[in-house]
Structure 1
Amino acid sequence: MKAIRIDEFGGTEVLKLVNIDRPIPENDEILVKVYSSSVNPVDCTMRNGGNEILRPFLKLPMILGCDVAGIVEEVGSEVTNFKKGDAVYGCPNFPGDGSYAEFVAAKSNRFAIKPSNISFNHAAAVPLTSLVAWEGIFELGKLEKGQKILIQGASGGVGSFAVQIAKAKGAYVIGVASTDNVEYLKQLGCDEVFDYKSQDFENILKNIDLVFDASPIRNDIDRLKSVKVLKNGGIFVSVNVDYPFSEIVNEEMDNKNVIGKMVAGQNHANLSEIAELISENKVNVFVSKVFPLEQVAEAHKESETWHVRGKLVLEVRKEI
């Protein structure tokens, strides 16, 4: 099968198209015929050799790719939740043994039935980012109907899902993004939108129940702004697990009795509920651009601009 593999860490030049053996599923795994994958910022991080958290787990050679949508080709002897021919989506393996390939084998509990109302390309844009958003907002952030949530980086892959799932559950949603994305966030369902280039939300907002930070920016200045707008006893959740809360940020959170948490998004059981929201058209999937598998380097370059609206998708094979 064809796959994109890296044999060394580095820039986009290390992404090589190779022919390798098709994986064989274990007893608790399924083999998926891959139609689509997607590009996440973490893929670029792993390609570069990882960060302090990821580096110990990265082993070469490695196939990148955290998201997949495709059709079940084989099922292991212990698998009861899927059968050959099922259309599925999920996060197969992390890190390594990923989905930049024509086939991928992974544990069946990392998948769910694909929403029938969207294409494989759109389904591949969902898993990792939506799981991070769901876990951060509901499992760690404890968001409830009627509460106020501020979402930083609201126009990106994680942020776009965060806005929609928070709104679908009845929250009051406030998004922060650049000027070019203000109207986009209103279309997603934001009740208020702040342009970080021209508006100081930290001087306007207060008593926010939850701040969900899905921005790629890693600095204490922005984190202190988030703490400032939270209510006493509020929750601050960040997706940037590689950038721990500093002493000064922890001190400010302590002063306001704010709980700070990091989210990785590994509860794959949430994929079924996310699929239900998509099937009910309560959550839409926004794909910025689709690249053929062979153009993965171009997709990585675009991802590394940090200005992608929605998701970038790799089309492994055409949907019939």
Structure 2
Amino acid sequence: MKAIGADRGFELSEGNLFYEFDKTKPEPKGNELLVKVKAISVNPVDTKIRQAPVEKAPRILGFDAAGVVEATGPDCELFKVGDEVYYSGASFYDGSNEEYQVMDERYVGKKPSNITFTEAASLLLTALTVYEVLF
């Protein structure tokens, strides 16, 4: 499968240091889902992570995503194969700038049927930020 990553942290003034590479498709374990990523968004967390030193290269960025569940780990109870989902990631998982992403089902929500994958991916951190400001 394809992914996009960088070998080190960098400032935008250095240009684009991202590159496409092949990696093995991950397998979900425990309560993880394997999601076929359909849309991603870029938010401030991604810019901070892009600038930080890379512990394991290449680092795959991307926090917010939407897609379709392709497989579930043996302990999953909340989702099934074929469910349309959206989620904000976690720093201990590879980012969403890849074709398939493994994610703990507890970080995932069912995508509303009246919005697109692109709209769903763009809502996550930005909607939470607005909620925190208002309430």
Alignment of structure 1 residues 49-198 onto 2, 5 Å = 49=52, 59-61=55-57, 62-94=59-91, 97-134=94-131, 136-137=132-133, 143=135
TM-score by length of 1: 0.39
Instruction: Give a deviation string over 1:268-295, Cα, whole Å, max 9, x none.
Output: xxxxxxxxxxxxxxxxxxxxxxxxxxxx
Q: Is 1:17 aligned to residue 20 of structure 2? A: yes
Instruction: Give a deviation string over 1:234-282, Cα, whole Å, max 9, x none.
Output: xxxxxxxxxxxxxxxxxxxxxxxxxxxxxxxxxxxxxxxxxxxxxxxxx
Letter matched to residue 100 of structure 2: F
Higher normalized helix content (fraction of residues):
1
Instruction: Give a deviation string over 1:105-143, Cα, whole Å, max 9, x none.
Output: 010010110011111111110112222333x247xxxx3
Alignment of structure 1 residues 288-299 onto 2, 5 Å = none
Q: In structure 1, how many angstroms separate the alpha carbons of the residues matched to 2:42 and 2:74?
A: 31
Which residues of structure 1 form unaligned runs of 5+? 50-54, 144-320
TM-score by length of 2: 0.88
Is contact 2:93-2:102 (8 Å) kept? no
User: Highest relative contact order (Cα 8 Å, sep 6+), 1 or 2?
Assistant: 2
Letter matched to residue 76 of structure 1: G
Is contact 2:69-2:82 (8 Å) kept? yes
Is contact 1:27-1:77 (8 Å) kept? yes
SS at match of 1:65: coil
Which residue number in structure 2 is paired with residue 6 of structure 1?
6
SS at match of 2:41: strand
- State the shift of 1:42 in Å: 2.1
Is contact 1:92-1:105 (8 Å) kept? no
Q: In structure 2, how many angstroms separate the alpha carbons of the residues matched to 1:37 and 1:43?
A: 11
Q: Is 1:48 aligned to residue 48 of structure 2? A: no
Is contact 1:64-1:95 (8 Å) kept? no
Is contact 2:93-2:103 (8 Å) kept? no
Which residues of structure 2 form unaligned runs of 5+? none
Name segments (4+ residues, structure 1) moved above 4 Å: none
- State the shift of 1:20 in Å: 0.8
Matched-pair identity in %: 37
- State the shift of 1:77 in Å: 0.8
